[in-house]
Amino acid sequence: MDIQLEKKKGLRPKHYGYIALGLLLLFVGYQLVFGSSVSTFRTEKDKLSIAEVSQGKFDDYITINGYVAPISTIYMDAYEGGRVMEKLIEEGAMVKEGDIILRLENTNLYEQILASESNLALKQNDLRSTKLTFDSRQVEGKKSLATAKYDLQRLKRNYEQNKALYEDELISKEEYLLSQENYELSQQQYEIVKLQTEQDDELRKTSLSGLDTDLERMQKTLSMVYQRLDHLNVRAPADGQLGFLDAEIGQNIAQGQRIGEINVLTDYKIEADIDEHYLDRVKRDLIAVLERNGKEFPLRLRKIYPTVRSGKFKVELVFTDAKPETIRTGQSYNIKLQLGESSDALLLPKGSFFQSTGGQWIFVVKTDGEEALRRNIRIGKQNSRYYEVLEGLQAGEKVITSNYDSFGEAEKIVLK
């Protein structure tokens, strides 16, 4: 009886070939589907901005936005504090130098001024009394000197007469000696009075000179005290427009408080903010041009502020010739600021790709227009229209200049 043998189950040699072929197909499919998606991005060509690199003249300038401001602004601070009693001029009005804008009231100041007047009056009276005393002493000194001189002459004459009589033995020796002693004493007294008078005159000259200076100083002090009263009238420091006024009726103003400003409108300036990228290249006296209604108005960069805020620094420009007829404070203008001389260069049109790459690389479109590959480049100067290409590109090549944020980490762009 024949016994039927059961077929053995398992892999045969030919099965290994099928398995290897399947694995190969899976690997190739994985590479096509997943491997290429890591470095390749597909997009429609019409949705991108593509520009051509060209050789041409590079104008080294930047376009900045500036606004018109008064040529100067004068701030008004309160010389004296007080309560606002009257507001004579409103904001925006044109004023002349010396026009009263506010009237203040300060009762404490009034009391201080009255006390100062009393003290100064007393001191002036004291000084005048001292001057009168010196004058009296001068008169008395002259009287004493005249009396001493009279006594000296009289006693001298008596002495000379007695001397002659004594020589003729007509008077006693005692009487002669007495007249001699009186004469000599009179000489000494006259010299003393004369010296005292001369010293008094010298003292009077120096003292009165100092007293006159003190009186003049006190009079100036008193006039300064009166000026404090006048400072309660807040006046315009110059001709111009009252820019703002921070004061209302009944408000208390502290001494030294900023209460307003005057815009001097005899001329205008342009204030602008520039990206800090240009901080090292922007210098004083650079020239610029403001375009208005087809006309160009030359400017000069007058001032650069050193502070950088929010990635920008501030500059001031002034007109060097004519200015727009309808110019007004607060108007905004586009200005071309010349940073250097024009030169021949490889030009790359500006685009938003720069924000994604920092200008270090770019996608270059192949000649067939179906793909774009990533390439490292080096960019130099830039103006409002072009970047100056230093390395990495050639004239005639086309590049993608639109934003790269949606491309991710792709190194190749497939264009549909």
From 194, 229, 264, give the residue that closes a domain.
229
C-alpha–C-alpha distance, residues 92 and 99, integer Å: 14
Angstrom distance (rounded) from CA 398 to CA 416: 16
Write the CA distances from 315 to 153, 275, 284, 306, 338, integer angstroms: 92, 11, 9, 9, 14
Cβ 42 vs Cβ 414: under 8 Å: yes
pLDDT exceeding 70 applies to what percent of the chain?
A: 91
Instruction: Compute the 3-state secondary structure of the chain and give helix, strand, coil in percent, each to the nearest 5.
Output: 40, 35, 25
Q: Are both 129 and 212 inside the same structural domain?
A: yes
CB contact at 8 A, 162 and 179: yes
Are residues 111 and 221 both part of a single domain? yes
Residues in the chain, how many? 416
Total of domains in the chain: 2
What is the spatial distance between Cα 55 and Cα 185, in angstroms, rounded to a whole number? 119
270/315 Cα distance (integer angstroms): 8
Last residue of a domain, one of 180, 209, 229: 229
Residue 337 lies in a domain: no
| Residue 328 falls inside a structural domain | no
Judgement on whether residues 204 and 142 belong to the same structural domain of the protein: yes
In a domain, 9, yes or no: no
Contact criterion met (CB below 8 Å) for 275 and 311: yes
Mean pLDDT across 199-220: 78
pLDDT beyond 70 at 38: no
User: Is 67 part of any domain?
Assistant: no
| Domain assignment of residue 21, yes or no | no
Q: Which domain holds residue 225?
A: 107-229
Q: Which of 409, 411, 400, 398 is nearest to 52 (CA)?
A: 398
pLDDT at 133: 84
Mean pLDDT of 119-147: 83
* CB within 8 Å of 210: residues ≥ 6 apart: none
Q: 370: domain CATH number?
A: 2.40.420.20
Is pTM beyond 0.85? Reply is: no
311 inside domain: no
Read off the tokens for 156: 């001298």
Examine residue 377 and state whether it is found in any structural domain, yes or no. yes
Give the tens place of pLDDT for each residue, 224-245: 878 888 889 999 999 988 988 9
Class of residue 6 by CB neighbours under 10 A (exposed 0-12, middle 13-18, buried 19+): exposed
Q: Using an 8 Å Cβ cutoff, are 284 and 316 in contact?
A: no
Q: Is residue 3 part of a domain?
A: no
Instruction: Tell me, yes or no, whether 125 and 200 share the same domain.
Output: yes
Which are the contacts of 239, defined by CB distance < 8 A and separation ≥ 6? 95, 96, 97, 264, 266
Instruction: Decide which of 229, 257, 288 is a domain's last residue.
Output: 229
What pLDDT is attached to residue 360?
92
Pair (55, 115) in one structural domain: no
Tell whether 47 and 152 lie within a shared domain. no
The chain-wide mean pLDDT, for the chain, equals: 85
